Copies of this chain bind each other. A is one copy, B any other.
Amino acid sequence: MLGGRALAPPTAGMCETCTIRHSAICGALKIEEVSALNALARRRALSAGETYIMEGDAALDFGIVSNGVAKLVRGAEDGRAQIVGLLFQSDFLGSTLGEEDGAVEPNTIEAVTDLELCLFSRDRFQSLMHRFPSLETRLLRRAFDELRFAREWMVLLGRKTAEERVASFLLHVARRVQSRGCHPQESFEIPLGRAEIADFVGLTIETVSRQMTRLRKDEIVVFEGTRQIVSIDRARLTERAGF
């Protein structure tokens, strides 16, 4: 459940050859500076469903998703849960950076798909940021991006109808997943199951399912199985997604 295996020790050059270096905040560093980053990095792999950290645990690390998808969850004992964010390739985790020692992770972080993380101790990453201020600038930018997303999602959770929520969700995933490869590939896979989608958009599984079938019957999305999407009509989906 908790944990994940450590990958091969940081061999010289892992960061240098990292495929996401330029999209992640690491892209702030010049190629000759990257070795300093590489020296501090640990890698860790989790398989789908494994928990990286639980809400309430001590937050010791800062990290970057180098592969796969993770979810940030806050849950109540009574079964209610809310996904407050999805982390895709090149997203960061560890928003307690800057807090004094003893900081506590506010969310549970769980691997949605198989996941690879690139981890740094908070302290060390912090001194790295002092050494390379462009790193901090880039992280600030990312933090603002996350903030903007969270606020957009607040609108969804506070004011949108079931159909608008599901449509917005599909657009969100499409945008994030497709940005990885070459641009306008129409086919992609939803990394989440129905239950996870429900926890993300603040509905129940049943309602999500009903809205999915509706969009399918109206031929706005074409499914292959339950997670694979063959094509989406962005224009009409955007209409249905509300403001």
Give the docked Cα–Cα distance between A202 and B153 (Å). 12
Distance, CA A97 to CA B137, complexed state (A): 10
How many residues of A are counted as interface, with CB atoms below 8 angstroms from the partner's CB atoms?
44
In the complex, what distance in Å separates the CA atom of A144 from the CA atom of B96? 7
- Note all chain B residues with C-beta closer than 8 A to A82: 154-155, 158-159
A96-B144, A144-B95, A147-B143 known; A74 vs B155 contact (CB < 8 Å):
yes
CB atoms of B80 and A148 under 8 A apart? no
Asked if B84 and A155 make an inter-chain contact with CB atoms under 8 angstroms apart, the answer reads yes
In the complex, whether A222 has a CB less than 8 A from a CB of chain B is: no
Tell me, in angstroms, the Cα distance from A172 to B117 when the chains sit together: 34
Can you give 9 A-B contacts (C-beta < 8 A)? A74-B155, A96-B144, A97-B144, A99-B141, A133-B133, A136-B137, A139-B140, A147-B147, A157-B202
**Given A78-B243, A158-B201; 9 other pairs, CB 8 A cutoff:** A74-B151, A82-B159, A85-B151, A98-B141, A130-B133, A133-B133, A136-B140, A139-B140, A147-B147
